[in-house]
């Protein structure tokens, strides 16, 4: 970028008002500088956005550390087409293994619903028994109880 | 678990038993970690599948030189891949008719998957590649910062004079990043 140093200097360093006004003048008159300035700002915003997203993903994850070298060297499927028979064959083998060894499903939702229903019925019985016991105690005259 | 190099050798020869061994040994911990981190069993299966597929296809193209245990290597890839999935979920708007229309109108390529990789993916990869080109000290500062550490913590851990020095370092690496990315096609 031809005007990179100039744009970087104006944006990042402390400059005089005169220099700023001069820069604005150049921006108005030089379409190339305007285009490069826009590009600079766009890249800076993009970097900011990427950092924010990655930071927020990292915050949500437990037991994870963002390591640049590892991420940059992640193996991918570059050079392989989706219709490559080799990749399809490998994919099928892996999927078969996953299906064959799929862990049996835990009780899941139904189990929880059933447990919640049993608990709520039990709780209601407990409440009604305890409240009738309290009423009975209140109704009884303690002196009569003693006699 | 088998020694790393033997695992790789048998993976290269498409040995189903070694895939079963990897699944039995490593899938439970991967599944546990992913379900603990906003994923499901299906997500864990997809990540396991995709990671193993990538490792096997990479083995076809070139050899993998393991510098750690195979399980550490595999787990690390799975975690980074899950990180990428979560990045995509945050970055991309949920696919609705309105969002798709907006994307077409603005021409931002959010859902432009013609060449197998969206513009957003390309931006992400350009960003990661740019980070990878920085000097080790800048990388360490960025990693610490992206992993949630404050300037004070970074200064203490990396021996910077004060938090201002860390802030200056961050400012400098951003300038470098902009330079690197601006050279990308």
**Pick from B62, B91, B120: which residue ends a domain?**
B91
Q: Could you list the residue range(s) of the whole structural domain that residue B57 is in?
A: 4-91
pLDDT at B159: 92
Torsion angle in degrees (nearest 10) through CA of A51, A55, A61, A64: 70
Q: Could you list the residue range(s) of the whole structural domain that residue A29 is in?
A: 4-74
pLDDT at B107: 52
Do B12 and B34 share a domain, yes or no? yes
Which residue of A78, A82, A92, A98 is the best one to mutate when testing the B interface, meaning the one whose CB has the most B CBs within 10 A? A98
Do A68 and A117 share a domain, yes or no? no
Contact (CB<8Å) A101/B38: no
Q: Given the structure tokens 């245990």, which residue do they identify? A: B69
Question: Cβ neighbours of residue A111 under 8 Å, at least 6 residues apart?
Answer: none
Predicted TM-score (pTM) of the model is: 0.71
pLDDT at B114: 46
Tokens of B133: 């080109």
Judged against a pLDDT cut of 60, whether residue B25 lies above it is answered with: yes
pLDDT bin (cut points 50, 70, 90) of residue B157 is very high
Q: Do residues B47 and B27 lie in contact, with contact meaning Cβ atoms separated by under 8 Å?
A: no
Do A62 and A115 share a domain, yes or no? no
Do A61 and A113 share a domain, yes or no? no
Pick the more confident residue, B116 or A116: A116
Do B71 and B105 share a domain, yes or no? no
**Count of domains observed in chain B:** 2
* Residue A14 Cα, gap to closest chain B Cα (Å): 14
Judged against a pLDDT cut of 90, whether residue B22 lies above it is answered with: yes
**Pick from B41, B62, B91: which residue ends a domain?**
B91
Instruction: Tell me the ipTM for this assembly.
Output: 0.77
Contact (CB<8Å) B178/A82: no
pLDDT at A79: 45
Do B55 and B111 share a domain, yes or no? no
Q: What is the mean pLDDT of residues B100-129?
A: 65
Contact (CB<8Å) B87/A53: yes
Q: For the domain that residue B67 is a member of, what is the CATH number?
A: 1.10.1740
Distance CA B34, CA B172 (A): 35
Asked, for residue A64, whether it belongs to a domain, the answer is yes
Pick the more confident residue, B127 or A125: B127
Nearest to A66 among B90, B91, B146 (CB): B146
Q: What is the mean pLDDT of residues B145-151?
A: 93
pLDDT at B79: 93
Searching chain A, which residue's CA lies closest to the CA of residue B171? Answer: A12
Do B9 and B43 share a domain, yes or no? yes
Do B82 and B102 share a domain, yes or no? no
Which residue of B57, B70, B149 is the best one to mutate when testing the A interface, meaning the one whose CB has the most A CBs within 10 A? B57
B19 chain-A contacts, CB cut-off 8 A:
93-94, 97
Residue A113 three-state SS: helix
Do B86 and B133 share a domain, yes or no? no
Asked, for residue A42, whether it belongs to a domain, the answer is yes
Distance (Å) of CA B159 to CA A56, A79, B152, B163, B167: 26, 43, 10, 10, 14
Do B21 and B44 share a domain, yes or no? yes
**Count of domains observed in chain A:** 2
pLDDT at B101: 62
Q: For the domain that residue B122 is a member of, what is the CATH number?
A: 1.10.10
pLDDT at B67: 79
Do B120 and B177 share a domain, yes or no? yes
Helices (H), A61-84: 68-72
Do A21 and A65 share a domain, yes or no? yes
Q: Do residues B178 and A39 lie in contact, with contact meaning Cβ atoms separated by under 8 Å?
A: no
Do B139 and B68 share a domain, yes or no? no
Asked, for residue A101, whether it belongs to a domain, the answer is no
Q: Do residues B96 and B110 lie in contact, with contact meaning Cβ atoms separated by under 8 Å?
A: no
End-to-end CA distance of chain A: 103
- Work out the percent of chain B whose per-residue pLDDT is above 90: 51
pLDDT at A125: 80
B121 chain-A contacts, CB cut-off 8 A:
none
Do A21 and A68 share a domain, yes or no? yes
Do B124 and B71 share a domain, yes or no? no
Asked, for residue A121, whether it belongs to a domain, the answer is yes
Q: Do residues B113 and A104 lie in contact, with contact meaning Cβ atoms separated by under 8 Å?
A: no
Q: Each residue's pLDDT tens digit in chain A (147 positions)?
A: 678 889 989 988 888 999 999 999 999 999 999 999 999 999 999 999 999 999 999 988 888 999 999 888 887 654 454 555 677 888 888 999 999 887 676 555 566 677 777 778 887 888 887 777 777 666 655 555 554
**Pick from B27, B57, B91: which residue ends a domain?**
B91
- Work out the percent of chain B whose per-residue pLDDT is above 70: 84
Contact (CB<8Å) A68/B142: yes
Tokens of B27: 């899938």
Residue A97 contacts B, CB cutoff 8 Å: yes
pLDDT at A13: 85
Do B85 and B143 share a domain, yes or no? no
pLDDT at B113: 46
Do A114 and A70 share a domain, yes or no? no
Distance CA A118, CA A115 (A): 5
Cα B4 to chain center, whole Å? 22
**Pick from A53, A74, A95: which residue ends a domain?**
A74
Contact (CB<8Å) B129/A101: no
Do B31 and B69 share a domain, yes or no? yes
Distance CA B112, CA B49 (A): 25
């Amino acid at each position: 970028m031809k005007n990179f140093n100039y744009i970087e200097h104006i944006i990042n360093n402390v400059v005089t008002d005169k220099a700023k006004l001069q820069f604005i003048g150049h921006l108005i008159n030089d379409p190339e500088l305007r285009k490069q300035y826009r590009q600079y700002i766009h890249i800076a915003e993009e970097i900011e956005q990427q950092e924010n997203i990655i930071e927020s993903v990292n915050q949500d994850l437990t037991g994870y550390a963002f390591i640049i070298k590892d991420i940059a060297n992640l193996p991918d499927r570059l050079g392989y087409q989706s219709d490559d028979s080799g990749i399809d064959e490998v994919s099928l083998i892996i999927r078969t293994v996953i299906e064959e060894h799929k862990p049996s499903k835990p009780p899941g939702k139904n189990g929880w619903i059933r447990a919640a229903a049993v608990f709520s019925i039990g709780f209601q019985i407990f409440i009604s028994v305890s409240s009738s016991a309290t009423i009975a105690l209140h109704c009884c005259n303690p002196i009569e109880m003693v006699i | 678990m088998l020694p790393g190099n033997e695992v790789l050798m048998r993976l290269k020869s498409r040995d189903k038993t070694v895939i079963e061994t990897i699944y039995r040994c490593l899938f439970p911990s991967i599944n546990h970690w992913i379900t603990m981190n906003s994923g499901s069993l299906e997500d864990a299966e997809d990540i396991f599948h995709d990671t193993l597929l990538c490792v096997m296809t990479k083995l076809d193209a070139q050899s993998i030189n393991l510098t750690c245990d195979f399980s550490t290597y595999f787990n690390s890839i799975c975690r980074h891949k899950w990180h990428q999935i979560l990045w995509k979920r945050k970055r991309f708007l949920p696919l609705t008719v309105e969002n798709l229309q907006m994307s077409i109108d603005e021409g931002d390529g959010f859902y432009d998957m013609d060449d197998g990789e969206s513009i957003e993916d390309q931006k992400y990869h350009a960003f990661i590649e740019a980070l990878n080109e920085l000097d080790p000290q800048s990388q360490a500062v960025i990693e610490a910062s992206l992993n949630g550490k404050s300037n004070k913590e970074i200064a203490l851990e990396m021996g910077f004079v004060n938090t201002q020095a860390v802030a200056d370092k961050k400012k400098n690496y951003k300038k470098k990043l902009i330079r690197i990315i601006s050279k990308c096609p």
